[in-house]
Amino acid sequence: MARTVLVYGDSNSHGTAPMPTLLDMRRFGPEDRWPCVMAARLGPGWRLIEEALPGRTTVHPDPISGVHKNGLAVLPAVLESHAPIDLVILMLGTNDLKARFALPPVEIAVGVEQLVRHVRQGFTGPGGGAPALLLVCPPAVVEAGCLAEVFAGAGPKSRRLAPLYAEVAARWGAAFFDAGTVIGPSPVDGVHFEAEDHRRLGAAIAEVVSGMTI
């Protein structure tokens, strides 16, 4: 039986292309989105569920984009509807860096930990246990292009997240990967990934998953 991997993320898992303008919402095709690239690398023994929403935060309803962007509010329904899930890959936190939330890095990590706790204390894995979890820290953002004002002040904050995420993963027995060690954002908008970086990230995460005991 194929194992199930659920990717829970935001626009950078959805496959949103770098945005020349705020109205440009192009999405890369499956051949370029990192979750699909990862699944292809893992092979037919795995079944992928892409659950990625542009604008999704860790735990915050967005006063501009909508209350449905709160990742914690939606997560229980997603997990239960797709159970049993062997592995959850969680990559969130980029949208928490938006200036409108004014969050320090430590509080973004606290938000991530609430999601991690729900997965690891849950019952949506095989046999009614908890799924395995891979926590991925997003790459640091660059304040550039049409998103520069939206993410004003986010660059230095984002560079402090990886060690905080690693501590969260260790506390909950989860695997950890820093995506910033293999890719960075496009200079077009400073947040989203180019297609080649999606492919690079998908290959790197497939390697991490292959090394996990699941």
Give the mean pLDDT of 20-49. Answer: 96
Q: Confirm if 168 and 118 have CB atoms less than 8 A apart.
A: no
Residue 185 has pLDDT above 90, yes or no: yes
Q: What percent of the chain has pLDDT over 70?
A: 100
pLDDT of residue 58: 98
Q: How far is CA 143 from CA 70, 174, 178, in A?
A: 23, 31, 20
Nearest to 4 by CA among 116, 131, 120: 131
Residue 33 has pLDDT above 90, yes or no: yes
CATH code: domain of residue 152: 3.40.50.1110
pLDDT of residue 176: 98
70-113: per-residue pLDDT in tens?
A: 999 999 999 999 999 999 999 999 999 999 999 999 999 999 99
In this prediction, residue 150 has a pLDDT band, given cuts at 50, 70 and 90, of: very high
What does pLDDT average to over the chain?
97
| 76 upstream amide cis, omega within 30 of 0 | no
pLDDT of residue 84: 98
Domain with 128 in it = 3-210
Q: Confirm if 131 and 151 have CB atoms less than 8 A apart.
A: no
pLDDT of residue 67: 96
pLDDT of residue 213: 86
Q: Confirm if 42 and 209 have CB atoms less than 8 A apart.
A: yes
Listed in order, strand segments (DSSP E) in 54-203 are 87-91, 132-137, 175-178
Residue 1 has pLDDT above 90, yes or no: no
141 burial type by CB count under 10 A (0-12 exposed, 13-18 middle, 19+ buried) = buried
Give the mean pLDDT of 44-62. Answer: 97
Alpha-carbon gap, residue 167 to 6, rounded angstroms: 22
37 burial type by CB count under 10 A (0-12 exposed, 13-18 middle, 19+ buried) = buried
Q: Confirm if 46 and 3 have CB atoms less than 8 A apart.
A: yes
Which phi and psi (to 5°) does residue 53 adopt?
-120, 120
Stated length of the chain: 214
Give the count of domains, the chain: 1
In this prediction, residue 214 has a pLDDT band, given cuts at 50, 70 and 90, of: confident
DSSP state of 6: E
pTM above 0.95, yes or no: yes
Distance of CA 94 to the CA centre of its chain: 8
Nearest to 197 by CA among 33, 2, 11: 33
In this prediction, residue 208 has a pLDDT band, given cuts at 50, 70 and 90, of: very high
Residue 53 has pLDDT above 90, yes or no: yes
